[in-house]
A and B are shown apart, each in its own frame.
Chain A
Amino acid sequence: MCKMRFMLLFSRQGKLRLQKWYTATAERDKKKMVRELMQVVLARKPKMCSFLEWRDLKIVYKRYASLYFCCAVEEQDNELITLEVIHRFVELLDKYFGSVCELDIIFNFEKAYFILDEFLMGGEIQDTSKKSVLKAIEQADLLQEEDESPRSVLEEMGLA
């Protein structure tokens, strides 16, 4: 599969929507890399291929509607499978949110992270089956709702 260094989601306007770093990177370097990379990717024409060499990394990106999904992998990694990873993540988001759009990710950004964390860990694919990823997220969400449900406002006010 692929050893990913980081994954970024950003909009056509250059707004970062999600970032996940799988190797320890100083905050300042992160900012610099994100800025630089966004510039490079956004400058590319739509018909260009999805790969580029950047610093000592290979960048694989793909645009879905107004969002760019951009991954950095290492020199020996397989570009096509990385593209598949991106696609699978998009599919997962789509299944979870029901035809996902940029706003879903903006307003539920923590959910998007939960999905990503269930799909990739430390830069490696956790499960190749979409079903089991979605199942894990659903069950974790259920657990969360159990947590939340008994706590109505009234109850908390001590009135119930």
Chain B
Amino acid sequence: MALKIVKGSIDRMFDKNLQDLVRGIRNHKDDEAKYISTCIDEIKQELKQDNIAVKANAVCKLTYLQMLGYDVSWAAFNIVEVMSSSKFTYKRIGYLAASQCFHEGTDVIMLTTNQIRKDLSSPNQYDTGVALTGLSCFVTPDLARDLANDIMTLMSHTKPYIRKKAVLIMYKVFLKYPESLRPAFPRLKEKLEDPDPGVQSAAVNVICELARRNPKNYLSLAPLFFKLMTSSTNNWVLIKIIKLFGALTPLEPRLGKKLIEPLTNLIHSTSAMSLLYECVNTVIAVLISLSSGMPNHSASIQLCVQKLRILIEDSDQNLKYLGLLAMSKILKTHPKSVQSHKDLILQCLDDKDESIRLRALDLLYGMVSKKNLMEIVKKLMLHVDKAEGTTYRDELLTKIIDICSQSNFQYITNFEWYISILVELTRLEGTRHGHLIASQMLDVAIRVKAIRGFAVAQMATLLDNAHLLTGNTQRNGICEVLYAAAWICGEFSEHLEDPMQTLEAMLRPKVATLPGHIQAVYVQNAAKLFATVLRKHDGETESQAAQETSQLLIDRLPLFVQSANLEVQERASCILQLVKYIQKLQQKNVEVAEEVTALFAGELNPVAPKAQKKVPIPEGLDLDAWINEPPSESESEDEKPKAVFAKEEPKHSRSRHTEVDEKELARRREVRKQEQANNPFYIKASPSSQKVYDAPGVEHIPVVQIDLSVPLKVPGMPMSDQYLKLEVERRQKEKAERKKKEKKKKREKRGKERKADSGPESEEDITPAHQVDIVTEEMPENALPSDDDDKDPNDPHKALDIDLDKYVPYCRHLQFIHVLHIVYDIQGNHQDESKVVVSVIFENKSDSFLKSMEFNVLDSLNSKLQRPEGAGAHDSLTVPFQLPPGQDTHAFLFVSSVSVSIVAVCIDCFLMQSDESSTHEKLDFKLHFTCTSYLITTPCYSDAYAKLLESGDLKGSSLRLEGINMPFHHLLARICFHHHFSVVERIDSCASMYSRSIQGHHVCLLVKTTVSIDAKCDEPSLLGNVLDEIKQTFSKC
């Protein structure tokens, strides 16, 4: 035996420790994976040994390997073993490993409950600390449920080191087990006034986090936080509190008004940038929520903007970035204040740091006006040319489009200029935003009627030069613009100077390399162009051109018929057949132009994406009602299977279709089509797909040759610049005309007013060159205004939305009308088992100041109030605080007691009515002690549990709960939580639970899914009471 130990120890001296492992990995740079796999084999050997030191060393190495990305989940059980070591050194390593490797899915976590509970109540504060730290990383709903009570007790631990950690971890516990929030909250709140600053700031942290998620439940804490804010000097705490107020003010505007002053004071006085930044942000948030009713808030905004300007001008990139970020928040509500700093922001566009440039770009959005839009966009276009890296360039592109298109092209005065900008943007290589440009092109062409001629000409050029766009790479997103170009040319083909040429460009073989959805649009719009060409040559008999067009289509379309894309194939073959038929008619000299054109007649209105959803359901329309009578069973003798189907699911729509014949179907289809055609709100799948499938008969179509168009580009100068120049000229001309008019007017007025009209022109003076059709019918009439801000149902914080001001059902309440409201909670005392702790919250309900209170318990044989040393047996305890009206405070009382159920208490209150007079009231009440208060959650292993049951010392009793329909684990959770039990073992449909009273009585429960509880206890009266209380708990729900 001794030899074995010696051998083991010698082996150990040659074991690798963590340092050796790290060094080894560094020395095996070339074959790291192989080296590590041998190390893992060694570790596996080490884990098999009994020596805990060896195991801990192995686990430590595994933790390192886990960080390097190796899977160590197989060692989870060994980690638990090391956690359970009694030596702090190993325990520490075990918990570290667990916190790094465990997650909710780790099944061995279940085994740790009792170990953690033991560590939490360890006399060594560092054991407790290490357990809390570890738990904060891997707490699961089960652990939270089982340990909530233990951690709550730790919040009142004598050592601030433990209190602080316990308070912080409560947040995680709340998230995992929301039911614990309500009972724990009073104690948490009390920690806001803990003498230890660390504990206090921990409590501020937790409550602020809770309040940020569900602010409305925490409004009542505002006065307390206000006091903290004005008294605290700790910047960390201040930041948290200020952030909390930012969340509260939208709910309580009066709070906002109160806040502005202390916040502006802080802004003026603080030297800490983080605090300054937080204050500025909160002031902005407050002012945004206080949209009106603040007469002098412009001063506060000015102050913020000034401070932000200082940040932006700072040489520190971080401050610059944050300054711009905060500025963009102000921009939303107070654009004027920001606009005056345009110079500074434009300057930031040239910053070396890309992230700062991006922030500045965000701000530009709000800085444009009709006057400076073209100039700003020109500057941005220069940046586009210079930009390195596609991300920044793409960002520039989207910003240009955002800026130009904002509020329905409000700032665009010249759409020719805008179209040319869009066309210029298509020359960007490798941009991801082709579809964005495309949608802008479509939008402008559809909405601005006056621009269609110009747009069509530009798009035709684009189509003609398509090879420039698609040339280099496949992943090129820019070819999306061809989608728009083809559609615009097709739809507004009446504006085309040479439709024949465009048609030819659209049917080039190269088109077949484009993505399917674009080809489909090409094919469809080729048909539209075909119709246009025919119409142009209408009336010319035996037109050569018309027949050539038909031939062109017949030659080129087969390429698309072979397309692998279903949509392209289907459209191409449809149109090909149509053209073939037309060609036949043409050869017979039949006039076809009109019929073909009729295929594409009518104009499209833009429809808002949500339009369909917003159509209100007319009164009396029941969408679930039958349109036809449901078929009776006798009707379908020959369709038995379907009849059976209908019988089983009477609402199944298939049963209706079964008896509709072909004719009826055709008729319905016709009606539906008619309806769709007449319904402006019907949303078509895509702009071009609507007219595809109905192909009525077509007759004869003639075509004529047309001259080539003039080149659209002015050589030597980018297009948009040219338009910029033109626009400037136009404006000058307009201005001159206006001047003339004004002069005239002035002359008429005989110069009574001498206004300087040479000053900068104001916004309103600039009239747009084109009218934008912001089609008002985009939304259906009487569309329902609806906010679509659905909250994420999976948000874990939703469960914590608990109104904490409502009376806590698990504590008992007493109310002395008009004077005092008392809430109390009773718990067994871990440290001294002969005592129970009664925590009491006093709330002053009267209008007067509560000067002093004395608390007394009429001692009995069973219960005794713990008085300070030297006090007489009947002396009262003075409650150590005074209560202003409407405030509440906590107090703790220790009552030594044995099994009592009622303790009589007497409170003497001295109320201050005014400065001189005071009244005195004596209030008597009784504290009802429940048996649960005497139970202490105590772990019990299943073997010990079995022994206990076998011993035969326990008396049995049972209970049936009626009308409970909650999941079994919820039921268990409730018993654990409210009655201080712990689950010993759970097997399928039943679970065994254990708890112990402070006097050492054992209580065992066997809970079954049939909601019956068999209970055993060595003290029958205790058992009876506990069962009664469990019954009561469940009768409440």
When the two chains form their complex, are residues B104 and A24 in contact, meaning their CB atoms are under 8 A apart? yes
Query: Contacting chain A: which of B252-260, B318-326, B495-503?
Result: B318-326
- Whether, in the assembled complex, B243 has its beta carbon less than 8 Å from a beta carbon of chain A, the answer is yes
* B103 proximity list for chain A (CB < 8 A): 24-27
* A136 proximity list for chain B (CB < 8 A): 129, 161
Report the separation of the CA atoms of residues A50 and B355 in the bound assembly, to the nearest whole angstrom: 10
CB distance from B70 to the nearest CB of A (A): 10
**Is the interface on chain A under 10, 10 to 19, 20 to 34, or 35 or more residues?**
35 or more
Query: Contacting chain B: which of A63-71, A89-97, A119-127?
Result: A119-127
- Whether, in the assembled complex, B827 has its beta carbon less than 8 Å from a beta carbon of chain A, the answer is no
Closest to A17 in B: B67
Option from A18, A51, A106 in Cβ contact (under 8 Å) with B22: A106
When the two chains form their complex, are residues A147 and B60 in contact, meaning their CB atoms are under 8 A apart? no
Closest to B168 in A: A121
Q: Which of A1-47 contact B (CB under 8 A)?
A: 1, 3, 16-19, 21-22, 24-27, 31, 45, 47
Option from A22, A81, A147, A148 in Cβ contact (under 8 Å) with B274: A81
Option from A18, A48, A50, A76 in Cβ contact (under 8 Å) with B67: A18
When the two chains form their complex, are residues B18 and A1 in contact, meaning their CB atoms are under 8 A apart? no
Q: Which of B19-46 contact A (CB under 8 A)?
A: 19, 22
- Whether, in the assembled complex, B93 has its beta carbon less than 8 Å from a beta carbon of chain A, the answer is yes
Complex interface bits, B161-198 against A, C-beta within 8 A gives 1, otherwise 0: 10011001101100000000000000000000000011
When the two chains form their complex, are residues A128 and B6 in contact, meaning their CB atoms are under 8 A apart? no
- Whether, in the assembled complex, A101 has its beta carbon less than 8 Å from a beta carbon of chain B, the answer is no
- Whether, in the assembled complex, A80 has its beta carbon less than 8 Å from a beta carbon of chain B, the answer is yes
Where chain B touches its partner, the secondary structure class is: helix
When the two chains form their complex, are residues A76 and B212 in contact, meaning their CB atoms are under 8 A apart? yes
When the two chains form their complex, are residues A125 and B236 in contact, meaning their CB atoms are under 8 A apart? yes
Q: Which of A75-116 contact B (CB under 8 A)?
A: 76, 78-81, 83-84, 106-107, 109-110, 113-114
Known contacts A76-B212, A84-B274; A140 and B322 CB within 8 A of each other: no
- Whether, in the assembled complex, B356 has its beta carbon less than 8 Å from a beta carbon of chain A, the answer is yes
- Whether, in the assembled complex, B205 has its beta carbon less than 8 Å from a beta carbon of chain A, the answer is yes
- Whether, in the assembled complex, B492 has its beta carbon less than 8 Å from a beta carbon of chain A, the answer is no
Complex interface bits, B137-173 against A, C-beta within 8 A gives 1, otherwise 0: 1000000000000000000000001001100110110
Complex interface bits, B314-335 against A, C-beta within 8 A gives 1, otherwise 0: 0001101110000000000000
CB distance from B1020 to the nearest CB of A (A): 44
CB distance from A129 to the nearest CB of B (A): 7
Known contacts A49-B317, A122-B171; A147 and B356 CB within 8 A of each other: no
Closest to B23 in A: A107
* B60 proximity list for chain A (CB < 8 A): 110
When the two chains form their complex, are residues B22 and A107 in contact, meaning their CB atoms are under 8 A apart? yes
- Whether, in the assembled complex, B277 has its beta carbon less than 8 Å from a beta carbon of chain A, the answer is yes
Query: Contacting chain A: which of B84-92, B379-387, B399-407?
Result: B84-92
Known contacts A16-B67, A144-B88, A156-B9; A128 and B161 CB within 8 A of each other: no
* A144 proximity list for chain B (CB < 8 A): 88-89, 92
**Is the interface on chain B under 10, 10 to 19, 20 to 34, or 35 or more residues?**
35 or more
Report the separation of the CA atoms of residues A24 and B143 in the bound assembly, to the nearest whole angstrom: 14
When the two chains form their complex, are residues A78 and B239 in contact, meaning their CB atoms are under 8 A apart? yes
* A158 proximity list for chain B (CB < 8 A): 2, 5-6
Closest to A148 in B: B89
When the two chains form their complex, are residues A147 and B165 in contact, meaning their CB atoms are under 8 A apart? no
CB distance from A34 to the nearest CB of B (A): 9
Closest to A140 in B: B126
- Whether, in the assembled complex, B548 has its beta carbon less than 8 Å from a beta carbon of chain A, the answer is no
Complex interface bits, A125-160 against B, C-beta within 8 A gives 1, otherwise 0: 111110010001001100110011001010011110
Option from A81, A110, A132 in Cβ contact (under 8 Å) with B239: A81
* B243 proximity list for chain A (CB < 8 A): 76, 78
* A156 proximity list for chain B (CB < 8 A): 5, 9
Report the separation of the CA atoms of residues A98 and B243 in the bound assembly, to the nearest whole angstrom: 36
When the two chains form their complex, are residues B274 and A114 in contact, meaning their CB atoms are under 8 A apart? no
Option from A51, A124, A153 in Cβ contact (under 8 Å) with B205: A124
Which A residues lie at the B interface, using CB under 8 A? 1, 3, 16-19, 21-22, 24-27, 31, 45, 47-52, 76, 78-81, 83-84, 106-107, 109-110, 113-114, 117-118, 121-122, 124-129, 132, 136, 139-140, 143-144, 147-148, 151, 153, 156-159
New A-B pairs, 10, CB < 8 Å, besides A83-B318, A113-B100, A158-B6: A51-B322, A76-B212, A78-B281, A81-B236, A81-B239, A124-B202, A125-B236, A126-B202, A144-B92, A153-B13
9 contacts between A and B (CB under 8 A): A1-B237, A49-B320, A83-B274, A121-B169, A122-B172, A125-B205, A125-B236, A136-B161, A147-B88
> Which 5 A-B residue pairs are closest in the complex by CB-CB distance?
A80-B274, A49-B317, A49-B321, A122-B136, A147-B89
